[in-house]
Structure 1
Amino acid sequence: MAASNFQKFWNHPAGPKTIHFWAPTFKWGINIANVADATKPPDQLSYPQQSALACSAVIWAKYSTVVTPRNWNLFSVSVAMAATSIYQLGRKIQ
């Protein structure tokens, strides 16, 4: 059973043999950097950068649910990026 589940994952159209898997996977690095920036003073954060990250994340989250096949890796990384960017914008505004 585990072998068949792995084989389904491996051969999935958005699986690890495609860029549709690896691009969102490496995009998690941006989220990690954004979380690490939570220790920075708010005056060192950039409105344009955080706004661009938040807007693009919302756009990609929507896109990932309408393409075929649905790309849940891209959806989850985009939702996380939107959340961290909005949090950083909130810190900057206060």
Structure 2
Amino acid sequence: MAAAIKALNTRIRANPVSDYFCSTHFWGPASNFGIPIAAVMDTQKDPEIISGGMTVALIGYSGTFMRYAMAVTPRNYLLFGCHIVNFGAQSTQAYRYVNYHYLGGQQAALQAKAKDGLAQAEGSMNSTAASAERMATDAKNKVESTAKDLTAQAKAQVDKITR
């Protein structure tokens, strides 16, 4: 069994492409790409949930490993790409955090939510008023119809009695 594994390893290492795909130079950055993917996805979420301290830590982490990716031999461009994407996404998150908490973004978001709530309330009130108006009109028409029927019945009874 050990000989078979050794032969398989020799065959893998003889081909430069398979040697690269079976190395930590590939699998380390490939598995690490979850961090920048999550960071890019988070740029669409509410800035209220951004952690300022964690964002700064991830910017430092990405900056350090961008440097490391160029310092190792051979250079690891996949690791560099992973961390430059993460650095960009985390920098975007840092800007969003500062804008939201320190440059008036929070007040603007609250005002926008209040305007949306007011517009929804107005729409709801208008539809309720229209519904109530329709119901009142229907009730009025029903009462008038019933009154006409009763009047006709009463006239018929009066005519019947007076004959």
| Larger relative helix fraction | 2
Post-superposition offset of 1:48: 1.4
RMSD: 1.1
TM-score (norm 2): 0.50
Please tell me whether residue 55 in structure 1 is matched to residue 63 in structure 2: no
Q: 1:40 aligns with which of 45, 51, 58?
A: 45
Determine the C-alpha separation between the residues in 1 that align with 2:72 and 2:93: 29
In structure 1, stretches of 5+ residues that fail to align are 1-6
Please tell me whether residue 10 in structure 1 is matched to residue 10 in structure 2: no
Post-superposition offset of 1:10: 2.0
Q: 1:29 aligns with which of 26, 29, 34?
A: 34
In structure 2, stretches of 5+ residues that fail to align are 1-14, 100-163
1:93 maps to: 98
2:70 maps to: 65
Post-superposition offset of 1:41: 1.2
Partners of 2:36 and 2:83 within 8 A in 1:
no
The superposition leaves residues 58-87 of structure 1 with CA deviations (integer Å, 9 ceiling, x where unpaired) of 110011111111101100001111000001
The higher relative CO (CA closer than 8 Å, separation ≥ 6) is in 1
Q: Which of these two proteins has the greater Rg computed from alpha carbons? A: 2
Partners of 2:55 and 2:94 within 8 A in 1:
yes
